[in-house]
């Protein structure tokens, strides 16, 4: 196949950038399939929206920052007016319990993490990886590292440090609000959450699009084998991929492998 043309290289890079924990992952898989069929990609990777524009879900992330900032400042009168998904700011911060200096520091780390995604110019210093903390914050970091959440990974009992959960709290995750509730609950003292914490490579099998991605994976493998029918396939995808060529088969195989590796299919 070598040398590859620029359109093929661009599509392959899109596959490499695919993260199936992202809340828009299903849409991006569909766009990649469309690009393979057309032989060109009309859009860049996830996260390349023009500067100054904002996706509607980012307003929810901003509301999280606003509510938690108000809680840290002790200005709870404003919390009822802040809406996050189906919750008010009061309902969200009620998970934290009584305010303490340690909790305020931990919640400030959550705000910094979410804020760094909203505004890339704001750097976030990971709690786990960086231990240069002045004064009493060194004790706060130690306490956060020693706080252990007990949940499950792929159905098996597991543990994760609160520090790591904060560091891996990604707003773009499909279960961001659920993960946020687990983290805030842990800060408040609930270390046995009713649901597992999900991250980029943790509990990805729980994504609601896993069944759909399984169908797409089977369809991509059928395309590679020049099969155009059979149970459990998506006929529309086969039609969008178009006539089989070495380049299209290679790209389809690359996408299929990415789906299977990330989701454990």
pLDDT digits (tens, 9 = 90+) for 23-37: 999 999 999 999 999
Phi and psi based region of residue 227 (left: phi greater than 0; alpha: psi -120 to 50; beta: remaining): beta
pLDDT of residue 59: 80
Q: What does the alpha-carbon distance between residue 23 and residue 228 come to, in Å, rounded to a whole number?
A: 30
Name the more confident of 4 and 182. Answer: 182
pLDDT band at 81 (very low <50, low <70, confident <90, very high): low
Among the listed residues 186, 192, 193, 198, the one whose alpha carbon sits nearest the alpha carbon of residue 96? 186
> What pLDDT does residue 143 have?
93
pTM of the prediction?
A: 0.86
| pLDDT at position 135 | 64
- Do the beta carbons of residue 13 and residue 255 sit within 8 Å? no
In contact, 82 and 25? CB cutoff 8 Å: no
For residues 61-81, average pLDDT? 81
- Taking each helix axis from N to C end, the angle separating 6-17 and 25-38, rounded to the nearest 10 degrees, works out to 160
């Amino acid at each position: 196949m070598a040398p590859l043309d620029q359109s093929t290289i661009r599509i392959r890079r899109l596959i490499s950038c695919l993260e199936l924990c992202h809340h828009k992952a299903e849409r991006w898989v569909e766009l990649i399939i469309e690009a393979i069929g057309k032989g060109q990609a009309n859009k860049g990777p996830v996260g390349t929206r023009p500067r100054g524009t904002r996706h509607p879900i980012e307003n929810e992330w901003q509301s999280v920052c606003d509510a938690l900032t108000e809680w840290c400042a002790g200005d709870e009168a404003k919390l009822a007016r802040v809406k996050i998904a189906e919750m008010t700011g009061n309902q969200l911060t009620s998970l934290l319990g009584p305010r303490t200096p340690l909790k305020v520091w931990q919640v400030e780390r959550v705000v910094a993490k979410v804020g760094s995604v909203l505004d890339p110019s704001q750097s976030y210093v990971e709690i786990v990886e960086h231990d240069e903390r002045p004064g009493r914050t060194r004790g706060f970091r130690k306490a956060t590292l020693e706080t252990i959440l007990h949940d499950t990974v792929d159905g098996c009992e597991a543990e994760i440090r609160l520090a790591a959960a904060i560091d891996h709290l990604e707003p773009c995750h499909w279960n961001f609000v659920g993960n946020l509730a687990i983290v805030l609950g842990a800060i408040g003292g609930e270390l046995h959450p009713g649901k597992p914490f999900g991250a980029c490579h943790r509990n990805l099998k729980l994504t609601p699009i896993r069944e759909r991605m399984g169908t797409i994976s089977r369809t991509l493998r059928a395309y590679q084998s020049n099969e155009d029918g059979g149970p459990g396939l998506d006929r529309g995808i086969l039609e969008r991929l178009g006539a089989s060529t070495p380049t299209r088969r290679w790209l389809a195989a690359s996408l299929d492998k990415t789906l299977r590796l990330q989701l454990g299919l």
